[in-house]
Structure formats: structure tokens, C-alpha cells
A and B are shown apart, each in its own frame.
Chain A
Amino acid sequence: MTHPDTEELMDYLYGELDVARRGAVAEHVAACEACKGRLATWGGVRRELDTWELPDAPTRPVAQPRAARGWPVVRWAVAASVLLATGYGLARLNAPQPSTTTASTIDTATLRDELKRELRAELGRELKADHAKFASEQSDRQAAFRQAVADALEELDTRQVVRNATLRRDMETVALRAREELDQLASSTQTGNVLTPPYQQQ
């Protein structure tokens, strides 16, 4: 039998050959040092390649203090949606003194509106800073995308009103941190420490 060509050997290596051809190639390889050698080399490379593993989670997780870099947009929007979920989170954090109101007495709808306004304002500030410095087609796309995803996540969240008290407590903690991040974001854009789009880093 003649040598399988390179393309067929590659199919064989990656298990993309049909059963009929696979048997024939395997038979040839068993008896052919050259082809056996090529496959062994490639197999070795594949194993080496697999040693470069990546974590499943990104380096910048959702609600943890970040290094001095721009927020990934989706993470930021997720954090914002958590604030929405807690409903009373905004009121509590804004209260100058410990609030005596409980979650059940707070008008969730009003709070959502307040937070939505603040969210949009925050987005606006961030986007304004971006636009001012990097007026470009790509910035507009980023802006459209941010708004779209923020809307989407908000809508998704609206569909799942959280009633579970324990879960609400956990989300309150996350919301607290997200709130800190938003404040940091606001102050960093205001002081002109503009978030740098990835492709124009200094």
C-alpha cells in the first residue's frame, strides 16, 4: 500500500477518518516506520500543546475589587443587574443612617427606576469619556453593545424576582462591592483617568 498523503494522516491523527479508511491507514502505519514516526512526532506535539491550560473563569471576575484597568463591560453590567435584583440595595447604601425600613416596605419599582437612571448616568459618563478621547466607529459599537447587554441583563433579571431571603443577603454583599466599583468608576472617569480601550494602550 502506498503512503497515505499528509492530509489523510492528519485526518487519521484527529480521528476524522471514516471507519473503512481508518483500518487501512492503521494497518499501513503499523508496518511503516516513516508514517509511524510522523504520527509519533505529531502526537508528542499535541500532548505538549495540551499542557497550556487556561482557567475557565476570566482573570477579572464579577464582583471583586479590580486592578486599575477598565471594567470588562459584561462583568460590569452583571454587577449592575445584581443591584437591580436586590431592589432595596440602593436605598440602603445611600441612607445616611441605618434605615429602619425593611425590604418588604420599600417600593421596589421606584428603586429600580432610580437605579436605572443612575446606571444610565454612569454609562453616559463612562461613554462620554470614551467618546471624547476616542471618537471612532469602534467606540460607538462598544457603546451600543454596552447598552444592549445592560438592557438584556436587566430584562433577564426582571424575570426572576428574588424572594429567597438567604439569596438576597448574599446578593446584598455582592451589590455592596458592585456599588464600590461603580463609585470608583465614576471617580476615575471624572478625574480624567479615562478607561483605555484595549487597542490603544500606551
Chain B
Amino acid sequence: MGWRLKLAGRGDAASDEDAMRRVRANGDPVAFAQLVARWETPIRRLCVRMTGDEHRGEDLTQEAFARAFANRQRFDGSGRFSTWLWRIALNLCYENHRRMKLRSEESFDARDDRPHGLDGPSEHAETSERAAMVRDALARLPELHRSIVVLRQYEGLKFREIADVLGIAEGTAKWRMSEALDQLAESLKPLAEVEEPPESEEQQPAVEPSAPVMEKVSVAL
């Protein structure tokens, strides 16, 4: 589809704000469709990883854009459109998480140790066992920590922008990230044991594999 191909791609931040200006001025659906085309995939990735559920994530993505359009007057253009949109999507994920939690608490055979909001293994035949472990480990993180991990590791946001999205200090974002990585190291220990030696990170000298330092860090809930 020609028009879709033309609109795809992130584009630069300035054009997002230009589009939103038109959307705010007269509900310009063409401008909004451009924003949808540009941001649908990253928002969907966020929602799928936050909920651990492909279908739920897609539904929340739709709702995120609906909410963004409905609340378009609330975007005053002082910050970036993307920051605002990430925040809308995350709030929807939080609301979803609360609903799932309530539902499972009311349910007769609710089990405390089961991660909330996840489908059973049979739903996602294509999800490898390894990916499922990662998904479950992420689900066990507190929401704030999970948000930071998803934004930093999967969506490549800088800590500065993550702090803006979440309304926390930049230092706090980095500290929570370290707590999250420590907790994930613990959860993913079974996977780590069959791991190959690490390659060198970009901008980092090659680090020799050593026994992982398992710090017991209390993660604030």
C-alpha cells in the first residue's frame, strides 16, 4: 500500500510536534494517521512486553491512540509528543495490570506466585521457552522497574527521557534499572548457566566471564 509505505518510519521529533499541532487545531485526522503509522509498532512492542500478552498488547495499543486523540488538547507541545504517548501507553498497561490483579485475587483458585496478566504457555506456540522465561521474569518485576527495563533495553530510550516519561529523577531511573537487572539476573539464573561466553559490549572493553556477583538488593515495591 503506497501511502502506508510513505508514512512508515520514525521521522524526526519536530514533525511529530507539527502533526500534533494540526491535530489539536482542527482534529486533523490525516496528521493523526501519520502519527499512528509512525508510532504504532514501538507502542505495540511496549504494551506486549509490559503485559506479556500479544493480543492484550495490541488492544492496549489501539486504546493508547484513541486516548491520545481524545486528549489531544491536553498535549501542550512543551515536551515531546513521544514522551506523552509513552506515558499514555504505560498508564494503560498499569490500569490493565490492576484489573488483572483484582480479577485473579477474586478468582477462586488464584495463586500468589503466578505472574499476572499472562496467558498460559499453550496460547503462544511460537514463543520459545527461553523467551517465555524472559517474559515471566519481567512480569515478576514491580511495574516501575519493568517500565524502565522495557523503555531502556527494548526501545532504546535514554535515561533522561525515561525519567521524563515516568516523572522521576534521572538518577532514580538508573538506580531502579540496576535493581531490575539484579533481580532479573536472579530470575534468569537457569538460563545463564547454559550461556556462551559474552562478546564485548559496544563502547566497553571486553569483559572476561567471571562468577556473577549476586547481590541481594531489596527491590522497592
Q: Which residues of A contact B (CB under 8 A)?
A: 6-7, 9-17, 22, 26, 29-30, 33-34, 36-54, 56, 58-60, 69, 72-74, 78, 82, 138, 140-142, 144-145, 148-149, 151-153, 155-157, 159-160, 197-199
**Do A42 and B181 touch across chains, with their CB atoms under 8 A apart?**
yes
Closest to A44 in B: B192
Q: Do A52 and B33 form a contact, CB below 8 Å, given A44-B198, A199-B96?
A: no
Beyond A40-B198, A156-B30, list 4 extra A-B contacts (CB 8 Å). Answer: A10-B178, A46-B153, A73-B62, A144-B69
- CB within 8 Å for A138 and B63 given contacts A37-B211, A44-B192: yes
Q: Which of B187-204 contact A (CB under 8 A)?
A: 188, 191-192, 195, 198, 201-204
Of all A-B residue pairs in the complex, the 7 with the closest CB atoms, nearest first, are A198-B59, A152-B29, A152-B33, A141-B70, A37-B213, A145-B66, A148-B29
| Interface membership of B184, Cβ < 8 A | yes
The complex places the Cα of A37 from the Cα of B212 at a distance, in Å, of: 6
Q: How far is the CA of A141 from the CA of B95 in the complex (A)?
A: 17
Question: How far does the alpha carbon of A6 sit from the alpha carbon of B212 in the complex, in Å?
Answer: 16
**Docked-complex contact A15 and B212, CB < 8 angstroms:** no
Known: A14-B159, A36-B207, A74-B40. A45 touches B184 (CB 8 A): yes
Q: In the docked arrangement, what's the CA distance between A82 and B207, Å?
A: 53
Instruction: Given A148-B69, A152-B30, A156-B30, decide whether A199 and B63 contact each other with a Cβ distance below 8 A.
Output: yes
B residues in contact (CB < 8 Å) with A: 1-4, 27, 29-30, 32-33, 36, 40-41, 44-45, 48-49, 54-56, 58-60, 62-63, 65-67, 69-70, 95-96, 99, 128, 130-131, 134-135, 138, 149, 152-154, 158-159, 171, 174-175, 177-178, 181-182, 184-185, 188, 191-192, 195, 198, 201-205, 207-215
Q: What's the least CB distance linking A52 to chain B, in Å? A: 4
Partner of A49, one of B59, B178, B184: B184
For the complex formed, measure the closest distance between the CB of B16 and the CB atoms of chain A, giving whole angstroms.
Answer: 16
Task: Please tell me if the beta carbons of A40 and B209 are within 8 angstroms of each other in the complex.
Answer: yes
Q: A7-B175, A69-B55 are in contact. Are A26 and B70 (CB under 8 A)?
A: no
Query: What CA separation (Å) do A120 and B2 show in the bound complex?
Result: 24
Contact call A44/B174, Cβ cutoff below 8 A: no
> How far does the alpha carbon of A129 sit from the alpha carbon of B100 in the complex, in Å?
25
Task: Show 25 A/B contacts (Cβ-Cβ < 8 Å), sorted by A.
Answer: A7-B174, A7-B178, A10-B177, A13-B201, A15-B202, A22-B203, A36-B210, A37-B211, A38-B213, A40-B209, A40-B212, A41-B212, A42-B181, A46-B153, A47-B195, A48-B134, A54-B45, A58-B44, A58-B58, A59-B55, A141-B66, A141-B69, A144-B70, A160-B3, A199-B59
Question: Quick check: B195 and A44 within 8 Å, CB to CB?
Answer: yes
Instruction: Please indicate the chain B residues that have their CB under 8 angstroms from the CB of A47 in the complex.
Output: 195, 198
B20 to chain A, nearest CB (A): 14
Chain A residue contacts of B99, Cβ below 8 A: 199
**Known contacts A36-B210, A44-B192, A138-B63; is A51 also within 8 Å of B182 by CB?**
no
